[in-house]
Structure formats: C-alpha cells, structure tokens
C-alpha cells in the first residue's frame, strides 16, 4: 500500500513523537512479523529494550529507527509497511487494536508505538548499520586536504545492512537521475516494471508509477532500452514531482488502511489522474482512462496520450 510519500509522512510522525525516547519493552506477537529477522521475534524484543531512538530514517519504502545504547554500536529497527502496515502512536492505556503485531512501550510511560498490519506483508527486523554504498565517504587524501570540512551525509548513521540492494529514492541527496537513466537504457524490460523495481530507483509503487507515466505521456509497456534519454528523464522527473506533490498533502489514502501515526489520512487521491480512474475522462484529452492487467496487478492509462507500443516487451494478457 504505502509508497514513498506515505512512508515519509509516517517517518515524520515517528520523528516527531518517538525520537529521543527510550524503549522500555517491545512485544512482538507471532513469528511472521519478524520472519525476515533470522534470530526471530524474541531477539528483536530483547535487543531493542533499553535503547534510545536517536533518529527515524528512510530510503524508498523502507523505514528504520536508529537505536542507540550507551557504549554500544547503533542498530537499525527496519520497518517495512508492506501493503497494509501502519505505525500508530497511541496512549499507553489505549484499547487494543486488531492486527497489532508489535508494540513498543517507552520508559516515560506516556504513549506507545504500534505496528498494525492487516495483510501481514510488512515486517520488522533488527540489523547493524553499515556505510551507505551510495554516499561514499571522503578519501584519506580529501580528508587531509579539508580537515575542517564536515558535510552532513544523507544518512548520518549509515543504512541497514539489509537494504544494500535498494537504490536511492528521488527525494534524497544520493539520488543521481543521470545514473538511473544510464541503467534504464541498458534494460530490456517494460518501463513500468523498471519503475517498480526498487533496486534501480526506490519509492515508486503502483500508484505513482501510473501517475508518472500518465504525466509523461508514455505507456508502461514501452521498452526501457527503446526510450530516448529525454523520455526517460521526463518519466523520472514526473515520478519525483508527483511524489513531492503527494507528500505535501499527506500522501494518498483511499480508506483507513493508510493513515499517519495520528490516524490522519492524506488527500492526494483527489489529485490522481490515472490510478483508479478507469472510465473517467483523461484530464488532458477527455478519452476514457483504461485499466489493464500488468504483472498480475493493474495499470491505468490514457489510451490516447499514452500510445501502446507496437511490440511490447511483455504483451497484455488476452481478454
């Protein structure tokens, strides 16, 4: 469910309400919520207790809390919301909530942080932080030349070891659009598939892929290596732009499944031009927006503004 703008809205809420507080206890329910954590849920509970949350960071759709313990190396509590995950800040004495898989209580006894996830595609893991592969540190020579230079890196504490394969997202300093275009030019696959592949550029999901392609006037089945560099730049520029606009209004919420830590919805669903607009007139040309199956999911596009390629890399399924 949540894509970059929604995860960023959640991250900001966590930063506001949780950073600076010390975790007293963590309760994880069931094994599935920590299935990506090799040592299991009990290990997560044991090792986060007594740590202080010093930062809430994010790359693409991956969110993590930087946890510090005095005299110890910082760890990252990585949280992926999957399709239906929520992080909610509740009063310590609040009513139980269905589908709560993890709950964090703080030593001030005030509020609690809950991980609620209806479809259970999301999860938690605890990992060491490693240097960000996309933000190379200064070489020894550079350090010697500028001993007083202390630029603020994108991720002060590094990134969790588990997300080394996730590319930078379009909102972070480490993002290099030219590098992404060069990668895309070498891929023989549909442009929409590449946008959804988090290893190239992260943060884009089904909603914002459809919106970016609609804005660029490019059909999602067009082949990456057949698109010109300016066309690819247009798609990527629109992807960034549409996600920035969505973040400004709190993200896209169709229902109560996506909410901020306060339970507040975003309003970008009112501004969608393609996603979920099947049958509605295209805002540019009036042609009815069409829906088709793609990668076992849905794609929404204007058949006039976004011409289907003559020989798509992956053909539409019959029907």
Partner DNA sequence: CGTTCCTCCTGCTAGC
Partner DNA sequence: TGCTAGCAGGAGGAAC
The catalytic site residues sit at 2-3, 61, 297
Contact region for DNA (CB under 7 A) — 18-26, 38-46, 59-67, 144-152? Answer: 59-67
Shortest gap between Cβ of 271 and DNA (angstroms)?
12
CB of 48 to DNA, least distance (A): 21
Residue 139: both structure tokens together: 């070489």
Taking CB under 7 A as the criterion, the residue among 19, 22, 27, 32 binding DNA is 32
Sheet holding 100-106, edge to edge: 23-28, 100-106, 111-117, 85-91
Q: Which of 19, 121, 244, 280 binds DNA (CB under 7 A)?
A: 121
**In the complex, what is the shortest distance from the CB of residue 125 to DNA, in angstroms, rounded to a whole number?**
10
Closest to DNA by CB, 197 or 241: 197
Residues comprising the chain, all counted: 319
Choose one: 19-27, 100-108, 230-238, 296-304; the region binding DNA (CB under 7 A).
296-304
By CB under 7 A, is residue 156 in contact with DNA? no
* Residue 133 binding DNA, by CB under 7 A: no
Does the protein bind DNA through residue 182 (CB under 7 A)? no
Task: Tell whether residue 83 is a contact of DNA (CB under 7 A).
Answer: yes
CB of 26 to DNA, least distance (A): 22
Rounded least distance, CB 305 to DNA, Å: 20
Interacting residue with DNA among 252, 260, 277, 306 (CB under 7 A): 252
Site for DNA contains 267 (CB under 7 A): no
Contact between 190 and DNA per CB under 7 A? yes
Residue with smaller CB distance to DNA, 35 or 47: 35
What residues line the site for DNA (CB under 7 A)?
1-3, 6, 32, 36, 60-62, 80, 82-84, 98-99, 118-121, 165, 187-190, 193, 196, 198, 205-207, 251-255, 257-258, 269, 295-298, 313-314
């Amino acid at each position: 469910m949540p894509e970059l703008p929604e995860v960023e809205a959640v991250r900001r809420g966590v930063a506001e309400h949780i950073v600076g507080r010390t975790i007293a206890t963590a309760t994880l329910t069931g094994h599935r919520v920590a299935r990506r954590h090799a040592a299991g849920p009990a290990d997560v509970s044991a090792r986060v207790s007594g740590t202080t949350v010093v930062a809430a960071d994010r790359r693409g759709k991956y969110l993590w809390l930087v946890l510090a313990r005095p005299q110890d190396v910082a760890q990252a509590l990585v949280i992926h919301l999957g399709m239906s995950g929520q992080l909610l800040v509740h009063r310590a004495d609040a009513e139980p909530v269905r589908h709560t898989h993890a709950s964090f209580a703080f030593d001030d006894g005030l509020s609690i942080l809950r991980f609620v996830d209806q479809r259970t595609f999301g999860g938690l893991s605890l990992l060491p932080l490693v240097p960000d592969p996309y933000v190379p540190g200064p070489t020894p020579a550079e350090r010697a030349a500028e001993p007083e230079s202390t630029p603020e890196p994108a991720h002060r504490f590094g990134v969790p070891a588990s997300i080394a394969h996730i590319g930078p997202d379009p909102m972070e300093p480490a993002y290099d659009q030219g590098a992404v275009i060069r990668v895309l030019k070498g891929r023989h696959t549909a442009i929409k598939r590449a946008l959804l592949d988090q290893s190239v550029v992260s943060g884009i999901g089904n909603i914002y892929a459809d919106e970016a392609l609609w804005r660029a006037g490019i059909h999602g089945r067009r082949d990456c290596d057949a698109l010109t560099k300016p066309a690819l730049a247009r798609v990527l520029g629109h992807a960034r732009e549409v996600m920035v606009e969505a973040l400004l209004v709190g993200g896209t919420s169709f229902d109560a499944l996506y909410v901020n830590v306060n339970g507040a919805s975003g309003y970008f669903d009112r501004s969608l031009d393609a996603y979920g607009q099947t049958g509605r007139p295209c805002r540019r040309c009036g042609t009815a927006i069409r829906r088709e199956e793609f990668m076992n999911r849905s794609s929404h596009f204007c058949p006039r503004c976004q011409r289907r390629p003559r020989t798509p890399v992956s053909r539409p399924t019959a029907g």
